[in-house]
Amino acid sequence: MNANTTPETLAFTDGKLVLIDQTRLPGELVTLVCENVEQTHDAISRLVVRGAPAIGIAAAYGVCLASPANHEGYLAAIERLATSRPTAVNLFWALDRMKDVIQRTTADDDLAELLLSEAITIHDQDRQMCRDIGRHGASLLGDCRAVLTHCNAGGLATSMWGTALAPIYHLHQAGHPIEVFADETRPLLQGARLTAWELSQAGVPVTVLTDSMAGSLLKSGKIDAVIVGADRIAANGDAANKIGTYPLAVLARYHNVPFYVAAPSSTFDMALPTGDLIPIEQRSRTEVSNPHGTCVVPDAANVMNPAFDVTPAELITAIITERGVVTAPNPAKLTEHLR
Ligand SMILES: CSC[C@H]1O[C@H](OP(=O)(O)O)[C@H](O)[C@@H]1O
């Protein structure tokens, strides 16, 4: 995939973290600059930067903004950033890598350079992981003409190119005719706002549908495969992803449509035996009751707003990582794959 397929989601320049502000898309392509840990924590919590890999990379750079720039300051930064969002394991995977650097470095004055070097390595490795997921996923989607996806697991959710969308960019650039149907993904509309934006920018045909239309679309026979990202995958292959993914997997199975999960190895949490142990982020009621400031739910009513659900491994046709494809995932296969 050539470099200009999707924009760089984030960068660290002149000692500052520069983020595409994803809350402003698709109407405005603007950046938000984080100059300290608190601003980075806020950017992750408000989904200025979002998507499991992108959250991990942003948090790694956020540690580099710690003050004071010493062991205690950096460890406090890691502790603070770990409270930004609970579900995407990539956040904790990246922070653990930064903590390892601190713990194996004695001299404070070496730390700033070593930590920035580790954050840059995490960022660079993510680019390669996404590129490899694209290559491996393309082998699965090679006969597909129309795929359905949920939320945004594209370049904006990673360093660039994405996970679920990486195979689509790979095929599109190879001249393979493929179109994407994108669930709008209530309540924050990452599909309508972000997936449709980045695919359109790349020239990939995309159609937005409301989440409730997915069943009829799958019943129509038009969809050749469903492909989604993940925020945390347990040791048995159960996968947490944006709310609405689980019912999509049930519908795909009912209509005999392959259901693929694309994620780098940094999204696996092998310490969790099953997905029911994955922490699910509960977000504010206003995201559901007052979208864009318009009241659509009476104050007297209660509101649910879990940001993720868990798809059991038995509903997943295959998991695509940067290392290859695991069909019918189970603990033994995943342990071997990630060895
Ligand atoms: C490539 S991980 C993308 C993953 O993250 C999204 O959640 P959020 O937008 O809340 O960060 C969603 O679950 C995507 O599949």
Is the ipTM beyond the 0.95 threshold?
A: yes
Contact by Cβ (8 Å): 72, 99: no
Residue 190 counted as an annotated binding residue: yes
Mean pLDDT in residue range 111-127: 97
C-alpha span between 203 and 221 (Å, rounded)? 24
DSSP annotation of 26: T
Any idea which residue has 């939320």 for tokens? 151
> From ligand 1's centre to the CA of 43, what distance in Å?
15
Residue 316 pLDDT: 98
Mean pLDDT in residue range 306-329: 98
Task: List domains and CATH numbers for the chain.
Answer: 10-127 (1.20.120.420), 136-337 (3.40.50.10470)
Give the three-state DSSP class for 160: coil
Res 154 pLDDT > 70: yes
Predicted TM-score (pTM) of the model is: 0.97
Any idea which residue has 């394991």 for tokens? 89
Residue 58 counted as an annotated binding residue: no
C-alpha span between 95 and 55 (Å, rounded)? 10
Q: How confident is the model at residue 3 (pLDDT cuts 50, 70, 90)?
A: low
Largest Cα–Cα separation, the chain: 63
**Tokens (6 digits) for 106:** 């004695």
Mean pLDDT in residue range 49-69: 98
In ligand 1, which atom is closest to the CA atom of 50?
11
In one-letter notation, the amino acid at residue 294 is T
How many CB atoms are located within 10 Å of the residue 131 CB? 18
Res 327 pLDDT > 80: yes
Give the three-state DSSP class for 220: coil
In terms of Cα–Cα distance, which of 168, 160, 170, 128 is closest to 323? 128
Any idea which residue has 């904006």 for tokens? 156
Res 262 pLDDT > 70: yes
Enumerate residues lining ligand 1, CB below 6 A: 50-53, 151, 153, 157-158, 163, 190, 228-229, 231, 241-242, 307
C-alpha span between 10 and 61 (Å, rounded)? 10
C-alpha span between 282 and 20 (Å, rounded)? 24
DSSP secondary structure string for all residues of 249-304? HHHHHHTT--EEEE--GGGEETT-SSGGGS---B--THHHHSGGG---S-TTS---
> From ligand 1's centre to the CA of 87, what distance in Å?
10
Question: Apex CA 95: angle with CA 334 and CA 34, to 5°?
Answer: 130
Residue 15 counted as an annotated binding residue: no
Contact by Cβ (8 Å): 255, 225: no
> Is 231 annotated in the active site?
yes
Give the three-state DSSP class for 143: coil
